[in-house]
Amino acid sequence: MKKALIVGINYAGTFNRLRGCINDAQNVQKLLQEAYQFDEIKLLLEQDATTLGILEGLKWLTEGAQSNDTLVFFYSGHGSQLPSQLEPDGYEEIICPYDINWVDKVITDQMLHSIFNRLQNDINITLILDCCNSGDALNQAEKLEPIAEVFPILIKPWSNLPKFLPPPEDLQAQHPVQWSVSRDVNVSAILIAACRSDQLSVDAFIDGIYQGASTAAMIKACAKDPGISYEGLVASMTSYMLDNAFYQRPQLEGFRALYSKPFLSSFRIS
């Protein structure tokens, strides 16, 4: 079984509006259907992508998962961070549902970690997050380090929008939240992050439409080689960022032995 939950939020009608996230979601849906023959796909867009809607979608995604299944959670929208006493960098990475209130309507990396950590180790769990601060969103110990380089912070055309939602100032000034985080996430879970945890991801005008730079790079790489490995995919995405002067650097996280596996293949871990 191949099953996917796809979320795209443009936050239309708000001061936090983005323009390419619904396009991202629809483009990834097409990719999974046509190139990877997914059996079941649930699409959550705009007002349907509330905190409860996403959590119920994740429950739907993971319920009944069996050996050799492939599960995908794709998210395109705003990302952010909350202060944390237990994270090494002092921040908890989050994704921002349509109804985010920064207290009980928010989805943290701890929550994602907990949801996917319940599954057995012979299920391919692939998270693809196109948002700011998306690195470290599963709190995994292993990652493919971004290439070493010295480069200026390049600002692309004014029409590009960062996928970052700043927390309220009073929240940032509060005593850090004591999120509980473990490092025992399922060894068959792998994360493709649009950028490092300290970087912004952009919503850009690419090939005639607004879309996330990371999602566009991923789709281009998969169209060229559907059998590309996870490591090869992130390397191709990184090359796209360098070639097009985008500052963000995609990151691959999870069990290092899986990096050479074909994208969205069955892991068959014994």
Q: Which of the residue ranges 14-28, 79-93, 96-110, 153-167 has the most confident prediction, judged by mean pLDDT?
A: 14-28
Dist CA 263 CA 268 (whole Å): 14
**Residues 44 and 7 sit within 8 Å (Cβ to Cβ):** yes
Q: Each residue of 177-225: pLDDT tens digit?
A: 444 444 456 678 899 999 888 888 999 999 999 999 999 999 999 999 9
- Altogether, the residues listed in the chain come to a count of 270
Known active-site residue 222: no
Please tell me which residue in 96, 131, 132, 195 is annotated as part of the active site.
132
* pTM for the full predicted model: 0.88
Q: Residue 186: how many CB atoms within 10 A of its CB?
A: 21
d(CA 185, CA 55): 18
Cβ-proximal residues to 64 (8 Å cutoff; 6+ apart), any chain: none
Catalytic entry in 21, 78, 113, 131:
78
β-pair partners for 206: 209
Check: CB of residue 84 under 8 Å from CB of residue 177: yes
Q: Note if 78 is an active site residue.
A: yes
Domain limits, the chain: 2-258
Say what the pLDDT of residue 156 is.
46
Please name the amino acid found at residue 173.
Answer: A
Nearest C-alpha neighbor of 2 from the set 44, 31, 26: 31
Q: Cα separation of 214 and 193, whole Å?
A: 8
Which single residue is written with the structure tokens 């290439």? 147
Q: From the CB of residue 219, how many other CB atoms can be counted at a distance below 10 Å?
A: 20
- CATH fold, domain 2-258, is Rossmann fold (3.40.50)
**Residues 33, 38, 44, 46: what is their CA dihedral angle, to the nearest 10 degrees?**
-30
Neighbours of 14 (CB within 10 A): 10
pLDDT, residue 36, reads: 97
Please say if the pLDDT value at position 93 is more than 60. yes
Model confidence over 31-52: pLDDT tens digits? 999 999 999 999 999 999 999 9
At residue 33, the 3 state secondary structure works out as helix
In whole angstroms, what is the distance from residue 59 CA to residue 40 CA? Answer: 14
How buried is 15 (Cβ within 10 angstroms: 0-12 exposed, 13-18 middle, 19+ buried)? exposed
